[in-house]
Structure 1
Amino acid sequence: MTRKALMTTMAGLLLAACEPNVEQNSGTGTAPLNRGEVTDSRELVQPVVIGESGPRFNACQATGLIRSVAGNGELPVRAAPFDRAAQRDTLTNGDRVYICNRSHDQSWFGVIYAQNGELSGSCGVSAPVASQRRYDGPCRSGWIASAFVQIGSS
């Protein structure tokens, strides 16, 4: 292969990698995201998934305590693991959560929590589940900044 042909092929591959309409699947059972069609990041949702560690481990790997949130002490719970995602709820200093997922950069935790701020067996995540799946209740779920969570074990 000539140098010119090699350079042309490489340039084509690089341009293909930048294509905004590439479908991506988060691996959580969600539908692929066509990035070229998203105009507002607040429309994005990444569900919290339980059972990532397999059927021999609790559905969520750890628990956490919300702490060191300054100002009004409220920590936003978001629909996806980034600042511009829609806010679903708030947690406050002293609230307890189940930690089920982490973002790739470890900046966000996918959490499940009871409305009263306490850990609750009724959430159904403190025991193993047969397979990995989206959490669909009865407790609340979302993504929070990991910097404000003191981690414990489940």
Structure 2
Amino acid sequence: MRLFPLVIALPLAACNFATVETNTVTPEATATASALQPGLRPVRIGEGGPGFPACQSRATVTNVEPGATTLTLRESPFAEADSVVGLGPGIGMYVCTRTLDQRWLGVVVPPLSQPDADCGVRGRIERARGYDGPCTSGWVIANGVRLSGS
């Protein structure tokens, strides 16, 4: 019975009760944080597994951004991400992935001269991976397009 106080004292002795320093935000840190840009996030294809096409549906641009004539294709699923290209109304694309909140779609866009080009995404692939094919890829805001079958 005399071990009881010792069993409680040992874990408490292992705790470090040192004072914690508080972090201060310097003007330099604030300037650096505001200058950060989202990086490139490749569009993933093959997320449905090997039994399905690499990109399972298609979409067409229906809504352009306010004050613009095109829908912006971006490098990553963020409004602050760099623009890849502007897509006009009626441009078709393959939808390959989406963000968890469903706000952004990862797409592959065939060339305007070949709107039905395969782009390497109609067939099946063994496992999911980033798109590295011949067509332009990126992210569009979901409410800018109308989804259709494959």
User: Which band: TM-score by shorter chain?
Assistant: 0.7 to 0.9
Residue number in structure 2 paired with 1:113: 109
Number of aligned residue pairs: 120
Residue number in structure 2 paired with 1:62: 57
In 1, distance between residues paired with 2:83 and 2:72?
6
Residue number in structure 2 paired with 1:137: 133
Corresponding residue SS for 1:63: strand
Corresponding residue SS for 2:73: strand
Query: Could you say if the C-alpha distance between residues 84 and 72 of structure 1 is closer, same or farther in structure 2, counting changes exceeding 3 Å?
Result: closer
Query: Could you say if the C-alpha distance between residues 126 and 38 of structure 1 is closer, same or farther in structure 2, counting changes exceeding 3 Å?
Result: farther
In 1, distance between residues paired with 2:137 and 2:120?
12
Aligned CA-pair RMSD = 2.5
Which of 85, 90, 103 aligns to 1:89? It is 85
Give the TM-score normalised by structure 1. Answer: 0.70
Cα distance, 1:68 vs. partner?
2.4
Structure 1 unpaired stretches of 5+: 10-36
Mean CA deviation greater in 50-59 or 123-132: 123-132
Residue number in structure 2 paired with 1:100: 96
Give every structure 1 segment of 4 or more consecutive aligned residues whose post-TM-superposition deviation is greater than 2 Å.
70-73
Give the fraction of aligned pairs with identical amino acids, expressed as a percent: 35
Query: Could you say if the C-alpha distance between residues 38 and 60 of structure 1 is closer, same or farther in structure 2, counting changes exceeding 3 Å?
Result: farther
User: Is the contact made by 1:62 and 1:100 (CA closer than 8 Å) also made in structure 2?
Assistant: yes
Residue number in structure 2 paired with 1:73: 69
User: Is the contact made by 2:44 and 2:129 (CA closer than 8 Å) also made in structure 1?
Assistant: yes
